[in-house]
Chains A and B, each alone.
Chain A
């Protein structure tokens, strides 16, 4: 019975190749989209979950409460870890680690810049990276040791055995290779290429060695003995800052490692989600695309029911029960979804490299994982059953006497259901078009919004090695200007796009005692205004003609935050120094382009600068200029590879999330529209066939091709128009919600809605006409002859 049914199902699919192609194609695209998105969702979902005790591991976060706002950081003081270890019971391990930064490491003649994290010994107990070579017990204990990842080891040592060899850190420290660990997985929040002992960091930096409760710069990881102790430890943790430093505004709390990546936004010191909302969107998108493909199938199968009606009648007349008919139709749809899955599988493998490139991640299909296979099989069965359910129940309900007499079976109810299904598909498609259009509008708006300086043709060069010497910097400036590649040049304490370095330690006359504002602080060199291409609102910037060691430049936001009516000449206390304001600079975007600029103070201290900012000579070709700059850098600082970045490229990184959302909704929205069109094509195909006789009679009576086309397209246009009307409010709610998260946002205009209705109607008319044109042009006699 089963084999025969399978055979019949196969013959049926083969006989109606067109429908099979449309159906299986739609299902394949739906399934492939769904699987790709699910693959991505699971990639994000398993972030930081590679470690065996990840569920017991927490990150200590720091809430700083000011009267206006609560700031939440993951950066904590150096002394916190010891305090937790000694005073808070229930904690199994606690470790400190530093913010990953690039540092030069070399072996023999090989120099590479790689990400380093300084960490305590217990770091590797909490996060059990797999140690491939070396002694696991002794790692990170001796000061002059280093742990490399496999790929770092390979690029430094090639095929040599690296264990116990000496490498050099920034050409200063000699370090013995103690162990090799497996490369850090890409979906891990802490990324490093090599690990160094925390003791080394403290030895190299006096400031860090002497830092106390007021300085937040290290990541503190805590592993509990048991998750039941979480409540108790949390209570202890809350007051840890207040117990140790009088008058602090900070509180500590534990945030689970597993939630670090997806729940990274905090409001008023409480987790309010983060990337998880994007993941949810993708998850929903995945299933909606699949659902649309299923709807296609339901639509086409019921539309073709008349062709199957006779078979149902005969089967019932020779003794088939309804349930065995349902089983047969289900089998057919599962077979079809199986074909769809096989095609989807190929599609997915073909698309994966491109998808990875698009998202800049590395997804792979893990064929040895049972979870992958069970999801695959589950998805196929789910699709088959879902898509087959309605047709199976509908088709099997036919009365044999009626269908065998040749009475029409397509009742009004099934026609209505089909219409509802088509409307549903197009509601979804139109919503996606609206959302995608708004996402792109918002992206464009933010990208074209003036950022306060001219980021094109601007290069940042890291100050490292012997350039840290001020006299070498002067030499560098001379040499660069002489090449003609550079029109002007300045120094800055951070990259223009980097965040961080902020303080509450700014005071002024008349500041209310409990008023505290967070200020960004930077050190800038001469020619800053000219180089980055901004302007002063009042006063002047730092210049060689003056002695600016006690001068201060504020941005507009800072003037507003302090409440200065007469900024020029005002005295502001920066930590323990009184500085005089000599100028006000226009606000420019350093952090998020979606928010207003934060208050910033700038002083002139050459000891703190870390970047050379270079304005390229516009008269010269960019690649020649860059080449000339590289030559100079290599000559003056031969031991370090050139580390320079284009400011506008770095700036583009700030749009990564929105760009990703835009790209994905564009692609998958496109797929959804395409699948819907396939469904529409199938329906039109069927409709035209069914109405052949009617059309022939109309033509005999004198209808023109155009009349017939209008007649055939009208119904579909009506459906798509209704779908759009439903989609408009829905889309409005969705985009409104999405946009409300941004301080700077586009006003919702009529354009996205116009695009949605225009595009969906155009596509629908084109699809339907593809088929109806053929019918409208055919000779009426052919259809009438056999009646």
Chain B
């Protein structure tokens, strides 16, 4: 589903290139649960952003579901992105001015899903996450774990094929973190959603069936579990 070939990313500053990613080549298949690990500054988030089309690689080839992302036009890319990718952030990044329900509904609006269907999808997902009672609250009225649940719900509501999560549990207490990881696992196993997560913690990493270790921009692959 995802093919990266020789991805490089560097920032040129006064003639000096500071590399973030070097010769990254990897494949991610449909239905995989991949963890990206590595110390601070290793380029984990950059790699995730490139996967999520929020950033462009300086060099290299990126194919998403058979399409060459680098050469796609802005419009096509947004289209591809809207239909297939869901993002989950460490700091949740919910829109403060919107209620829980509205936050979840937002991506559907951009996908131009008709009103009645939007309503039912939002209701479904609220129900599934046991958050119906909280649908009219604003993000600052929720705990961190609840906010991240909303963040995941927002990523899921558009029926993405892949979820990209940037340290989804980084701001959470361990109990909440555990719940979130269980949820990811369930989504991966039951709904067949491909998941790529960036994480610091070994505990979280083992939820995935493959780990990419990043060190100074270079990938070391490791497979923990098969199947």
Expressed in whole angstroms, the Cα–Cα distance for A11 and B136 within the complex equals 14
The one of B49, B97, B110 in contact with A318, judged by C-beta atoms closer than 8 angstroms, is B110
Expressed in whole angstroms, the Cα–Cα distance for A15 and B138 within the complex equals 13
User: A11 contacts which chain B residues (CB < 8 A)?
Assistant: 97
Within 8 A of B (CB), among A12-26: 12, 15
In the complex, the answer to whether A318 meets B87 with C-beta atoms within 8 Å is yes
User: A321 contacts which chain B residues (CB < 8 A)?
Assistant: 75, 78, 110
Expressed in whole angstroms, the Cα–Cα distance for A380 and B185 within the complex equals 53
Q: A318-B106, A319-B158, A400-B54 are in contact. Are A311 and B78 (CB under 8 A)?
A: no
A324 contacts the other chain (CB 8 A): yes
Expressed in whole angstroms, the Cα–Cα distance for A320 and B105 within the complex equals 12
In the complex, the answer to whether B98 meets A317 with C-beta atoms within 8 Å is no
CB distance from B49 to the nearest CB of A (A): 5
Stretch at the interface among B13-21, B88-96, B202-210, B211-219: B88-96
Expressed in whole angstroms, the Cα–Cα distance for A320 and B82 within the complex equals 8
CB distance from A343 to the nearest CB of B (A): 23
User: A401 contacts which chain B residues (CB < 8 A)?
Assistant: 49, 54-55
In the complex, the answer to whether B110 meets A314 with C-beta atoms within 8 Å is no
Contact with A along B14-30 (1 / 0, CB 8 A): 00000000000000000
- Looking at chain A's contact residues, the main secondary structure is helix
Q: Which residue of B lies closest to A314 (CB)?
A: B93
Q: Which residue of B lies closest to A405 (CB)?
A: B45
B109 contacts the other chain (CB 8 A): yes
In the complex, the answer to whether B93 meets A320 with C-beta atoms within 8 Å is no
In the complex, the answer to whether B110 meets A319 with C-beta atoms within 8 Å is yes
B186 contacts the other chain (CB 8 A): no
The one of A12, A310, A315, A317 in contact with B54, judged by C-beta atoms closer than 8 angstroms, is A317
User: A15 contacts which chain B residues (CB < 8 A)?
Assistant: 97
User: B109 contacts which chain A residues (CB < 8 A)?
Assistant: 1, 4
User: B91 contacts which chain A residues (CB < 8 A)?
Assistant: 404
The one of A4, A7, A8, A317 in contact with B93, judged by C-beta atoms closer than 8 angstroms, is A317
Contact with B along A654-698 (1 / 0, CB 8 A): 000000000000000000000000000000000000000000000
Expressed in whole angstroms, the Cα–Cα distance for A324 and B94 within the complex equals 18
User: A405 contacts which chain B residues (CB < 8 A)?
Assistant: 45
The one of B75, B81, B93 in contact with A319, judged by C-beta atoms closer than 8 angstroms, is B81
Contact with B along A293-321 (1 / 0, CB 8 A): 00000000000000000110111111111
In the complex, the answer to whether A8 meets B81 with C-beta atoms within 8 Å is no
Q: Which residue of B lies closest to A7 (CB)?
A: B102
User: B45 contacts which chain A residues (CB < 8 A)?
Assistant: 405
Q: A4-B102, A401-B49, A401-B55 are in contact. Are A319 and B94 (CB under 8 A)?
A: no
Which interface class (under 10, 10 to 19, 20 to 34, 35 or more) fits A?
A: 20 to 34
CB distance from A747 to the nearest CB of B (A): 59
Interface centre among A313, A314, A319, A404 (most CB of B within 10 A): A319
B223 contacts the other chain (CB 8 A): no
Q: Which residue of B lies closest to A5 (CB)?
A: B109
Interface centre among B49, B55, B110 (most CB of A within 10 A): B110
The one of A12, A310, A315, A404 in contact with B106, judged by C-beta atoms closer than 8 angstroms, is A315
User: A313 contacts which chain B residues (CB < 8 A)?
Assistant: 93
User: B89 contacts which chain A residues (CB < 8 A)?
Assistant: 317, 404
Expressed in whole angstroms, the Cα–Cα distance for A12 and B138 within the complex equals 13
The one of B93, B95, B97 in contact with A404, judged by C-beta atoms closer than 8 angstroms, is B93
The one of A8, A316, A319, A320 in contact with B98, judged by C-beta atoms closer than 8 angstroms, is A8
Q: A15-B97, A401-B49, A401-B55 are in contact. Are A319 and B78 (CB under 8 A)?
A: yes
Contact with A along B149-176 (1 / 0, CB 8 A): 0000011001000000000000000000
Within 8 A of A (CB), among B60-119: 75, 78, 81-82, 87, 89, 91, 93-98, 102, 105-107, 109-111
In the complex, the answer to whether B97 meets A8 with C-beta atoms within 8 Å is yes
Expressed in whole angstroms, the Cα–Cα distance for A311 and B96 within the complex equals 8
CB distance from B22 to the nearest CB of A (A): 19
In the complex, the answer to whether B97 meets A311 with C-beta atoms within 8 Å is yes
In the complex, the answer to whether A318 meets B107 with C-beta atoms within 8 Å is yes
Contact with B along A310-339 (1 / 0, CB 8 A): 110111111111001000000000000000
User: B98 contacts which chain A residues (CB < 8 A)?
Assistant: 4, 8
Expressed in whole angstroms, the Cα–Cα distance for A14 and B78 within the complex equals 32
User: B78 contacts which chain A residues (CB < 8 A)?
Assistant: 319, 321
User: B87 contacts which chain A residues (CB < 8 A)?
Assistant: 317-318
Q: Which residue of B lies closest to A311 (CB)?
A: B95
Q: Which residue of B lies closest to A8 (CB)?
A: B97
Q: A4-B109, A319-B81 are in contact. Are A12 and B93 (CB under 8 A)?
A: no
Contact with B along A390-424 (1 / 0, CB 8 A): 00000000001100110000000000000000000
Expressed in whole angstroms, the Cα–Cα distance for A15 and B158 within the complex equals 29
In the complex, the answer to whether A320 meets B110 with C-beta atoms within 8 Å is yes
Within 8 A of B (CB), among A88-122: none
Expressed in whole angstroms, the Cα–Cα distance for A310 and B94 within the complex equals 9
Expressed in whole angstroms, the Cα–Cα distance for A315 and B105 within the complex equals 12
Q: A318-B87, A319-B82, A319-B158 are in contact. Are A324 and B97 (CB under 8 A)?
A: no
Q: Which residue of B lies closest to A10 (CB)?
A: B97
CB distance from A363 to the nearest CB of B (A): 42
Expressed in whole angstroms, the Cα–Cα distance for A400 and B95 within the complex equals 14
User: B96 contacts which chain A residues (CB < 8 A)?
Assistant: 311
CB distance from A398 to the nearest CB of B (A): 12
Q: A319-B81, A321-B78 are in contact. Are A314 and B95 (CB under 8 A)?
A: yes
Interface centre among A314, A318, A321, A400 (most CB of B within 10 A): A318
Q: Which residue of A lies closest to B111 (CB)?
A: A319
Expressed in whole angstroms, the Cα–Cα distance for A355 and B149 within the complex equals 59
User: A315 contacts which chain B residues (CB < 8 A)?
Assistant: 95, 106
Q: Which residue of B lies closest to A11 (CB)?
A: B97
Expressed in whole angstroms, the Cα–Cα distance for A400 and B94 within the complex equals 14
CB distance from B92 to the nearest CB of A (A): 9
User: B107 contacts which chain A residues (CB < 8 A)?
Assistant: 318-319
User: B81 contacts which chain A residues (CB < 8 A)?
Assistant: 319
Expressed in whole angstroms, the Cα–Cα distance for A324 and B112 within the complex equals 12
CB distance from B123 to the nearest CB of A (A): 16
Expressed in whole angstroms, the Cα–Cα distance for A400 and B107 within the complex equals 15
Expressed in whole angstroms, the Cα–Cα distance for A12 and B97 within the complex equals 7
Expressed in whole angstroms, the Cα–Cα distance for A404 and B49 within the complex equals 11
User: B110 contacts which chain A residues (CB < 8 A)?
Assistant: 318-321, 324
Within 8 A of B (CB), among A324-367: 324
CB distance from B188 to the nearest CB of A (A): 21
In the complex, the answer to whether B93 meets A310 with C-beta atoms within 8 Å is yes
CB distance from A325 to the nearest CB of B (A): 10
25 A-B pairs with CB atoms under 8 Å apart are A4-B98, A4-B102, A4-B105, A8-B95, A8-B98, A12-B97, A310-B93, A314-B93, A314-B95, A316-B54, A317-B54, A318-B87, A318-B110, A318-B154, A318-B155, A318-B158, A319-B82, A319-B107, A319-B158, A320-B106, A321-B75, A321-B78, A401-B54, A404-B91, A405-B45
| 8 shortest interchain CB distances as A-B pairs | A319-B82, A319-B110, A318-B107, A11-B97, A314-B93, A1-B109, A401-B54, A8-B97
* Extra inter-chain contacts (11) besides given A8-B97, A15-B97, CB under 8 Å: A1-B109, A4-B105, A4-B109, A11-B97, A317-B54, A318-B110, A319-B81, A319-B82, A400-B54, A401-B49, A405-B45
Chain A: residues with CB nearer than 8 A to chain B?
Answer: 1, 4, 7-8, 11-12, 15, 310-311, 313-321, 324, 400-401, 404-405
